[in-house]
Amino acid sequence: MLQVQYIHTLDLPELEPYRTMKRQLDHRQQRIFVAEGEKVVRRLLDSRFTVVSLLLPEKWLRAYEPLLERRPEVIQAYVAEKEDLERLTGFTMYQGVLAVGRIPPLPSLSEILDSTASPRLFVALEGITNAQNLGGLVRNSAAFGAQALLVGETSSSPFLRRAVRSSMGAIFELPVVELDNLTATLRDLQSKGIRTIAAHPHSDRRVLSQAQLTRDCCLIFGSEGDGLTPALLEACDDAVAIPMPPAVDSLNVGSAAAVFLYEVNRQRGTM
């Protein structure tokens, strides 16, 4: 059911999630996130995620009507001119379309293992804090058939506003597991026959094409600045690099993930 309210004041308590978008910890504690942009909001409305509210100009409300009619929950739509919405949020928006969704209960690793078939393909993250890079990595993971994203304790949430936007809504399709101890999780995966392969640009052992990727595997990516920690590298079964000329130090982590994931699909004959 859709409830529409034309707002004439920006002080409504119900608009608090839109006023506090820079206070991501508050949103995380409330288990909510903000979707930004026409396509991302459209994909949210077409997903299984619960939608709390919309904040948008009237023309976009009319454009979303077919999707809104299919939603089972009560959704509050706050309608105002784009200029008013920008005063509320504090930043310039290209389309002026925002929505608040609820982060669903996330699956455990055991649930992911029970629900996925071999050959498995997981992506794990250590120390990735740039939301735009994280969103791009999510998008590439979904595009190349990763079955789950394992987010280590030192990485940011993929439900940050900029990460959701950069993923172009792919986060709504990719199962996410939040971890307390990534190293222990990798050992657990290894005990179940899942190879753990680190993306390590300075690996002197092997290049990507030499890695065995046809069987169950988990690819592990770290931050561009520091890469993976020595302790985590030591815990992995293999560490491989994308071959590049000496003048190029490394790739953006999203680009590196795309190369790794494409190679998995190439070896498996799925691309």
Q: Kindly state the tokens that stand for 73.
A: 């929950």
Residue 121 is part of a domain; what is its CATH number?
3.40.1280.10
Q: What is the pLDDT of residues 122-171, one digit of tens each?
A: 999 999 999 999 999 999 999 999 999 999 999 999 999 999 999 999 99
Residue 58: predicted pLDDT: 92
Residue 250: predicted pLDDT: 75
Structure confidence at residue 112 as a pLDDT band (50, 70, 90): very high
- Which whole number is the average pLDDT over 236-255? 87
Q: What is the pLDDT of residues 46-69, one digit of tens each?
A: 999 999 999 999 999 999 999 999
Residues 257 and 193 in one domain: yes
The total domain count for the chain is 2
Residues 86 and 194 in one domain: no
Kindly list the distances between the CA atom of residue 254 and the CA atoms of 99, 199, 222, 223, in Å, as whole numbers in the listed order.
Answer: 25, 12, 10, 10
Kindly list the distances between the CA atom of residue 234 and the CA atoms of 101, 195, 196, 202, 209, in Å, as whole numbers in the listed order.
Answer: 38, 13, 11, 14, 21
Nearest to 106 by CA among 136, 150, 146, 137: 150
Q: What angle do helix axes 58-69 and 38-45 make, rounded to 10 degrees?
A: 20
Residues 59 and 179 in one domain: no
pTM over 0.75, yes/no: yes
Residues 70 and 126 in one domain: no
Domain end point (choices 102, 133, 148) = 102
Whole-angstrom Cα distance, residue 136 to residue 156? Answer: 13
pLDDT over threshold 80, residue 249: no
Domain that holds residue 246: 109-268
Domain end point (choices 50, 77, 102) = 102
SS3 100: strand
Most confident of 21-30, 34-43, 250-259: 34-43
Residues 56 and 171 in one domain: no
Residue 236: predicted pLDDT: 96
Average pLDDT, the chain: 92
pLDDT-wise least confident of 21-30, 39-48, 213-222, 230-239: 21-30
Beta strands 206-207 and 121-126: pairing type?
A: unpaired
Q: What is the pLDDT of residues 164-208, one digit of tens each?
A: 999 999 999 999 999 999 999 999 999 999 999 999 887 666 899
